[in-house]
């Protein structure tokens, strides 16, 4: 495994830096999922799984975890300081597709919803373990309506997610201010109902410091000052980092530098 290209031999990162790991078809050909995860967790504290490997619910009556994904969940649940980000498949909630986290029953049947939430909790072993390890990407650009965004937010929180994220950044639209507002209202109401603080992370499409200020004002006015903390609100936006560095350079020198003086990826 020393020459395994799955992860770099050296990395300056440890906790909360993610790597994508797709588990379908029993993991990578010729490899064992648990051995893969042993290798990953030497360097990374967060694993991302999405597409059809995320949370299989192929049965329209009884939601069921896809077996290879259960292997990943079980590994994460027993490993301290390791987080799992699970996401959705394309158009799953909007089109009512099965084999995805957001199956049609979640939009029409409260009984199915209860089973789905219990499925996630059972897959981790307990609500406490889910809350300790689980984060959920909603892929809000595919949810079509604000009602769907709010419902998906609540379902993720009920299942134990301690952070809900707008998107992978690969689907358009990604993060938008109105969608983030709906998610913030959801975590605010959830906190009032349960006492639990759930984090929100808009990702994709936030490119400038001025954009970020709009989001931070919305956070403060909607969820409150408690959420103005990286433990409860984060941006997923590399372009935003570049613009922030440019703005700081302007404050320090009085002049703007071009983007080529900063990171290009």
Spell out the domains of the chain, with CATH numbers in brackets. 18-234 (3.20.20.70)
Q: What is the mean pLDDT of residues 220-242?
A: 90
pLDDT at 221: 97
pLDDT recorded at residue 52: 38
Task: Write down the pLDDT at residue 65.
Answer: 75
Q: Is residue 7 over pLDDT 50?
A: no
Q: What is the pLDDT of residue 226?
A: 96
Distance CA 211, CA 48 (A): 26
**Mean pLDDT of the region 178-188:** 96
Distances (CA, A) of 61 to 113, 129, 177: 10, 26, 35
Is pLDDT above 90 for 62? no
State the pLDDT confidence band at 193, using cuts at 50, 70 and 90: very high
Most confidently modeled range among 58-67, 96-105, 182-191, 229-238: 182-191
Instruction: Determine contact, residues 213/240, Cβ cutoff 8 Å.
Output: no
**pLDDT score of 99 more than 50:** no
* pTM passes above 0.85: no
Residue 259's pLDDT is what?
73
Per-residue confidence band for 227, with pLDDT thresholds at 50, 70 and 90 = very high
Give the pLDDT score at 255.
85
Q: Alpha helix locations (H) across the chain?
A: 33-40, 67-77, 92-95, 105-108, 110-124, 127-133, 146-158, 177-194, 209-222, 238-253
pLDDT at 29: 59
Mean pLDDT confidence for 146-165? 87
Nearest to 38 by CA among 70, 69, 68, 82: 82
Q: pLDDT category, 108, cuts 50, 70, 90? A: low
**pLDDT for 113 beyond 90:** no
User: Once rounded to an integer, what is the mean pLDDT over residues 181-192?
Assistant: 96
pLDDT tops 80 at residue 185: yes
Order of strands, edge to edge, in the sheet holding 18-20?
Answer: 18-20, 46-49, 83-86, 134-137, 163-165, 199-201
Do residues 85 and 135 make contact, with C-beta atoms less than 8 angstroms apart?
A: yes
- Helix (H) or strand (E) holding 100, with range, is none
């Amino acid at each position: 495994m020393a020459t395994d290209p799955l992860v770099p031999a050296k990395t300056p990162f440890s906790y909360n830096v993610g790597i994508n790991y797709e588990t379908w078809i029993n993991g990578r050909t010729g490899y064992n999922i648990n051995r893969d995860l042993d290798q990953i967790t030497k360097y990374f504290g967060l694993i991302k799984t999405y597409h059809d490997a995320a949370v299989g619910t192929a049965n329209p009556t009884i939601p069921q975890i896809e077996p290879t994904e259960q292997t990943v969940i079980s590994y994460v649940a027993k490993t301290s300081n390791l987080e799992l980000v699970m996401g959705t498949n394309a158009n799953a909630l909007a089109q009512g597709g099965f084999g995805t986290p957001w199956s049609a029953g979640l939009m029409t049947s409260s009984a199915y919803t209860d089973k789905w939430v219990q499925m996630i909790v059972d897959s981790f072993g307990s609500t406490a373990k889910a809350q300790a390890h689980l984060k959920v990407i909603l892929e809000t650009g595919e949810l079509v309506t604000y009602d769907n965004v709010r419902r998906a937010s609540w379902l993720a929180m009920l299942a134990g997610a301690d952070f809900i994220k707008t998107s992978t950044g690969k689907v358009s639209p990604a993060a938008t201010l109105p969608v983030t507002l709906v998610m913030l209202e959801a975590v605010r109401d959830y906190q009032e109902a349960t006492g639990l603080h759930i984090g929100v992370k808009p990702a994709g499409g936030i490119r400038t410091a001025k954009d970020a200020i709009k989001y931070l004002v919305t956070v403060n006015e909607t969820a409150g000052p408690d959420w103005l903390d990286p433990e409860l609100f984060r941006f997923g936006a590399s372009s935003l980092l570049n613009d922030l560095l440019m703005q700081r350079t302007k404050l320090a020198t009085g002049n703007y530098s071009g983007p080529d003086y900063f990171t290009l990826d």
